[in-house]
Structure formats: structure tokens, C-alpha cells
Amino acid sequence: MLAWCYERDVPLTPRGGGTGFAGGAVPLGGVVLSLERLTRVRSFDPLLWRIEVEAGVRTSEVRRLARESGLFFPPDPGGAEQSQIGGNIATNAGGAHAFKYGVTGRWVTGLEAAIPPGELVRTGGPLRKDVAGYDLKALLVGSEGTLGVITAAWLRLLPAPEAVHPVVAFYPDVRAGCDAVLRVVGSGLEASALEYFDAGTLALAGPSYPGTIPPGAGFMVAAEADGSRDEAARLRDELLSVLGEGALAAETPSPGELWRWRDGIAFAVMAKRGGKLGEDIAVPLDRLAEAIEESVALGGRYGLEAVSWGHAGDGNLHTNFLVDPGDPDELARAGRAGEGLFELALRLDGTVSGEHGLGLLKRGYAGWTPRVARLQQAIKDAFDPKGLLNPGKKL
Ligand SMILES: Cc1cc2nc3c(=O)[nH]c(=O)nc-3n(C[C@H](O)[C@H](O)[C@H](O)COP(=O)(O)OP(=O)(O)OC[C@H]3O[C@@H](n4cnc5c(N)ncnc54)[C@H](O)[C@@H]3O)c2cc1C
């Protein structure tokens, strides 16, 4: 298909599960190439902690296969039931447990990809180390379908943790909650996840929270301890002690209930007005509190209700502006507020995208210097000299 398109100057947009939040799989003309039928598990070696899958295998399927053999594929982006491993790699997706385990790219040891003008290439493989040459695998990871079509991947797995214990604490405000996050990190406690939820999020999603939210709570932090039975219990107790300092309350909900609730937050928030526009900016950890406060204030400036939650430990905010999707004026104001978020991220020494990529929505906002922009373009030109792969995205 790629060779056919390249010969005839037809643009081609790869599409995985279609769950991306940056409009990357939305074509601007040409052909859409769906990877949904590439669903073969080519090899699985549980004793070597590795699996080779085709790009269309769903993220949840990779996680399930690993779990059934006592292993663990750490990346856990929220749309895992629908997203494909190729899409996760193409966006270098994160998730709640990226705080300890990193984003998808960290678990990819090799890729097979179709690159212009229509050749199948392989970079890396079932290897744990490979430092020969420039890292082409790393260039394809996060390339959002603009450099090649990923057809298969070799993934690294880990033995599954024996025990998992979430710890949740509530604070009166953003500052007290973010201080607690900094205390966890400063104490050297390696939580597997470290999430935050602001007052607006608690107001909308709080009614379905599986524990007890104390009166006066304006901020919630959820951490998780994992490891062997003993390690996880010790870390849980230490997290309870560090997060409990200055908290209104702290508790240990069941992991299943907590993460199910976490997965539903976006929908609970969206239900308020029927729509939302959210971004995924990331800032240095010590700027998290001001980023949350300023991003929510931005909504007010444009007459929009704003709520914020996200991956606290990674300084990765999901601030969302609530909108009526049928109101063009509100949508326009949300767009301007979104631009304000990008400016805020760059001003705080952060990035406009911590995990969703630039796609269609954020291209042009990355804040690169001219030299860096030229290097980015040179990489694109080296892979795709005719500019036919997912044109109009990322750059
Ligand atoms: C409910 C929900 C929760 C989410 N939670 C998270 C989260 O916690 N963390 C996070 O990082 N993201 C999250 N996301 C967004 C996330 O980026 C996607 O879920 C996922 O990584 C995209 O995979 P996909 O298969 O759906 O790709 P698509 O949306 O189909 O495509 C995304 C981009 O990748 C390209 N692409 C897709 N497949 C290939 C391929 N085989 N080769 C080359 N390019 C390809 C497309 O061209 C496009 O540019 C969430 C989305 C939803 C809907």
C-alpha cells in the first residue's frame, strides 16, 4: 500500500485504534491505512520476558497475555481496550504507572516498519541492548505515523509485582497536595504511580469515588506501592506516613476499584456539559502547583469551567475546559484557552505534550528554536522525502 501511494504521490495516514487525543489519525486527504488486521502474536517467550506482536494487537491484549504468564507489560494508557500497540508506540503513550516504569518506548526493543518508498525495515529486535548506529527505533517511537508505518514490535516484559497497594490522601488545596507529592519524591519512595485530582475533578467525579472524601477536600493524591509482598506492604506504610502529613485524611482503597474510578474520570467530567477540551502539558515537578493553579485560572479568563487531574509524579497535567459541543463560541474560547496552556507550559520550562503527541492539534506550538525545527524537518525528509506520510501532522 505504501509503495502504491508513494509511486502515485498519494498521502497515507496510518490508523491504529483511533483513540489518540491529538487528531493524529485524522487524514488530511489521501488514503487511511488501518492496522486492525495485523493481530498476530509472532512469538512469546515468557521465560525470556519478551514478546513479538504485530502492530494491530490491542494494548489490553498484550497486558493480558503477559499477566497470564506471571509477567507484566507496564505501559497502561487509559484507552487500552481499544488502542493498538502500534498506536501506543507511534504516540509513545504514557499512563498512570509511567512514574515508575516510564512511557511505551522504554519497553520497545525492536521495530519492523514500512518506510518510503515502500520498504520493510527492521531496527533492533529481541535484544536487551543495542547501541550500534543512530537509534532509528527511538526515532520511530513517538513519530505519529509521519516517518513510517509500524508493522510489528519486540517488547520487553517484567515479572509481575506480587502485591499492589494504592494509598490515597486528601488535602485542603493544590499547594498542600503538591507539597505532599514533592515529599514523596524527596523521601526516595519509589511509588509506581503518583496521581493528582483537583477540587473541580473531585466535585464532578467524587460521587463515584470508591472510598470516603472528607469534607473540605480540595485536592487528592493517589500513590501506589508495588513489589514483593513484604516490599509493597513496607512501601504502602511509608507512603501512608509521608502522604498523611498535613492531610485531611488518608486511606488504602482496593487497586481494582481505584483504577476503575480513575479510568472513568474523563467521562464523569465530560458529562457535565457534553464536551471538554483537554491537553497534556508537562512541567518540571517543582512547577506543578503553579501549573495546576494557572491552568485552571485560564479557564476562568475565557469564561469556561476548568478542572485538572493528571500524573503528578511526572508533572503531567490534564487540565480540561468544559464545553457545550454545540456552542461554536465556547469551542472557540476553549481553543484559545488551550493555546494559553501551551504558552504556560513553555513559560514554566515544560512541554506542550507529555504523552499524547502533537498530531494535528498541537503542531506549530512545540516552541522549538529554528535550529531544532530544522533538525526535526531533516529527520522527516530523510525518512519521507516526498512528505506523503501523515502530512500536516507533528511538524
Ligand atoms: C479513554 C482514553 C484514555 C487515554 N489515556 C491515555 C493515557 O493515560 N496516556 C496516554 O499517553 N495516552 C492516553 N490516551 C491517548 C493515547 O495516545 C492513545 O490511547 C493511544 O496511544 C493511541 O493508540 P491508537 O492505536 O488508538 O492510535 P491512533 O489514535 O489510531 O493513532 C495515533 C497516532 O499514531 C499513528 N499510528 C497509529 N498506528 C500506527 C502504526 N502502526 N504505525 C505508524 N503510526 C501509527 C497515527 O497516524 C496517529 O498519528 C487515551 C485515550 C483515550 C480515548
Q: What pLDDT, on the 0 to 100 scale, is given for residue 264? A: 94
Q: Which residue in the block uniquely carries the three cell numbers 491505512?
A: 33
Label residue 314 by pLDDT band (50, 70, 90): very high
pLDDT in tens, 213-243: 999 999 999 999 999 999 999 999 999 999 9
Q: Are 386 and 9 in contact (CB under 8 A)?
A: yes
| Ligand 1 touching residue 86 (CB < 6 A) | yes
Q: What pLDDT, on the 0 to 100 scale, is given for residue 39? A: 98
Residue range 260-280: average pLDDT? Answer: 95
Pocket test for ligand 1, best of 1, 15, 395 (most atoms within 8 A of CB): 15
Residue range 194-199: average pLDDT? Answer: 98
| Ligand 1 touching residue 356 (CB < 6 A) | yes
Label residue 16 by pLDDT band (50, 70, 90): very high
Q: Are strands 31-34 and 12-15 parallel, antiparallel or unpaired?
A: parallel
Nearest CA to ligand 1 atom 16: 20
Label residue 174 by pLDDT band (50, 70, 90): very high
| Ligand 1 touching residue 19 (CB < 6 A) | yes
Residue range 300-317: average pLDDT? Answer: 98
Give the span between the Cα atoms of 337 and 99, in whole angstroms: 27
Nearest CA to ligand 1 atom 3: 78
- Mean pLDDT is lowest, of 77-81, 137-141, 317-321, for 77-81
Task: Give the 3-state secondary structure of the chain.
Answer: CHHHHHHHCCCEEEECCCCCCCCCCCCCCCEEEECCCCCCEEEEEHHHCEEEEECCCEHHHHHHHHHHCCEECCCCCCCCCCCEHHHHHHHCCCCCCHHHHCCHHHHEEEEEEEECCCEEEEEECCCCCCCCCCCHHHHHCCCCCCCCEEEEEEEECEECCCEEEEEEEEECCHHHHHHHHHHHHHCCCCCCEEEEEEHHHHHHHHHHCCCCCCCCCCEEEEEEEEECHHHHHHHHHHHHHHHHCCCCEEECCCHHHHHHHHHHHHHHHHCCCCEEEECECECCHHHHHHHHHHHHHHHHHCCCCEEEEEEHHHCEEEEEEEECCCCHHHHHHHHHHHHHHHHHHHHCCCECECCCCCCCCCCCCCCCCHHHHHHHHHHHHHHCCCCCECCCCCC
Label residue 177 by pLDDT band (50, 70, 90): very high
| Ligand 1 touching residue 150 (CB < 6 A) | yes
Label residue 167 by pLDDT band (50, 70, 90): very high
Pocket test for ligand 1, best of 34, 91, 151 (most atoms within 8 A of CB): 91
Q: What pLDDT, on the 0 to 100 scale, is given for residue 364? A: 92
Label residue 330 by pLDDT band (50, 70, 90): very high
CA of 184 to the centre of ligand 1 (A): 30
| Ligand 1 touching residue 78 (CB < 6 A) | yes
| Ligand 1 touching residue 95 (CB < 6 A) | yes
Angstrom CA distances, 352 to 17, 18, 173, 331, stand at 23, 21, 25, 20
Label residue 70 by pLDDT band (50, 70, 90): very high
Q: What pLDDT, on the 0 to 100 scale, is given for residue 94? A: 96
pLDDT in tens, 30-45: 999 999 999 999 999 9
| Ligand 1 touching residue 292 (CB < 6 A) | no
| Ligand 1 touching residue 54 (CB < 6 A) | no
CA of 227 to the centre of ligand 1 (A): 29
Q: Is this prediction's pTM over 0.95? A: yes
CA of 186 to the centre of ligand 1 (A): 32
